[in-house]
Amino acid sequence: CLKCYDFSLVDDHAAQFPRHIVTSLDQLAYDLTSPWDSETEQFRAIFTWLHHNIAYDADAFFCGNVQASTPESTLKSGLAVCDGYAGLFASLAERSGLQAMKVTGHGKGFGYIPTESGGPVPQYQGNHAWNCALMDGEWRLIDSCWGAGAIDSSGFRRSFTPTWFMFSNAEFGKRHYPEDSAYQLISDEEGGPVSWEDYILEPEGPLLFNDFHTNNFSAQFVQPSTKNIQGGTWTSFHLFKLCEHLSTAEADNFVYLISLPDGNRTPFALNDSGGWSATVFVPAGEGEVSLFYVTQINGKDAKGLTVEEYNAAVGRKAMYFGGLCRWGL
């Protein structure tokens, strides 16, 4: 299963080849992929190397001064926008004997503003690039640019986000729309192909923080699935791992909490569907509802903390928290 496979050996290997010591693209491709038997591991090594060695060229992006790039120029500068990432990914794959292509289209990334309900359908406009890759007999979609980090108003933040290597094509398509619909790669059983109208008008979901992805939660099944929720009602919140193979045991997880605008926090409990749930009364008014988790307690890693231990520690022991996702009211 791609979503729960342990790529730590591949990732550690890919980190051993800093850009400044690379002598050629051919040698880099060989060094990254030759130790691995499967195409999936070989592609993962390329994906991870790009995170460590290529930074998003935020200055050029914000200044509107993005220049055309080649794989060689991207390697030399260590800077790229999405097209540069996708081009270098495809070049390294080809030099390794792998099959990969650059795909262009629309991405719901930085600066994306959802269409208001009832508003006209925006015209298609391409703004992003990614890859499709033949991995051990299956064509899959990969975004090494978004996997390397993210940009905000202050610039580029390097942050490894491997979900953009392991998403199903249907999940990937929630935020990517290819110019050529053949590159959606979404089967009829998964609801594909998707029209531009359905893609661009799909209601926005809750804000997901990077810790949501690094803790291997499913963006597809988090509930409520909308950006905003109704106050003054009882609301059920649900959280699931990326796949059924990932452990939900207390020893392998954290205490997850719903935080309301009034400061009340309610721990999640395991449900019968293999995830976590909490049902709380969300007060009326403005504000935000957030999903947190306890990262440290008394200076120690809080993984394995039970809800009972958390309740006993509230107000008595120092705790640190990480954010997973947020809803508006």
Quote the pLDDT of residue 2. 85
Quote the pLDDT of residue 166. 92
Q: What band does 187 get if pLDDT is binned at 50, 70 and 90?
A: confident
3 has a pLDDT exceeding 90: no
Q: What band does 176 get if pLDDT is binned at 50, 70 and 90?
A: very high
Q: Once rounded to an integer, what is the mean pLDDT over residues 240-263?
A: 94
Q: What band does 213 get if pLDDT is binned at 50, 70 and 90?
A: confident
Provide CB contacts within 8 A for 281, sequence distance 6+: 233, 234, 235
Q: What band does 220 get if pLDDT is binned at 50, 70 and 90?
A: confident
Q: Are 134 and 100 in contact (CB under 8 A)?
A: yes
The fraction of the chain above a pLDDT of 70, given in percent, is 100
Provide CB contacts within 8 A for 309, sequence distance 6+: none
pLDDT tens digits along 11-32: 999 999 999 999 999 999 999 9
Q: Once rounded to an integer, what is the mean pLDDT over residues 301-312?
A: 96
Cα–Cα dist 259/21, whole Å:
48
Among residues 126, 129, 200, 208, the alpha carbon closest in space to that of 161 is found at 208
Mean pLDDT of the chain: 94
Quote the pLDDT of residue 116. 82
Please provide the DSSP assignment of 195-262 as one string.
PHHHHHHSPP--EE-HHHHHTTB-TTT-BS-SSB--SSEEEEEEE-BSSTTS---GGGS--EEEE-TT
Quote the pLDDT of residue 111. 87
Q: What band does 191 get if pLDDT is binned at 50, 70 and 90?
A: confident
Q: What band does 147 get if pLDDT is binned at 50, 70 and 90?
A: very high
pTM for this model (two decimals): 0.86
Q: Once rounded to an integer, what is the mean pLDDT over residues 179-197?
A: 91
117 has a pLDDT exceeding 90: no
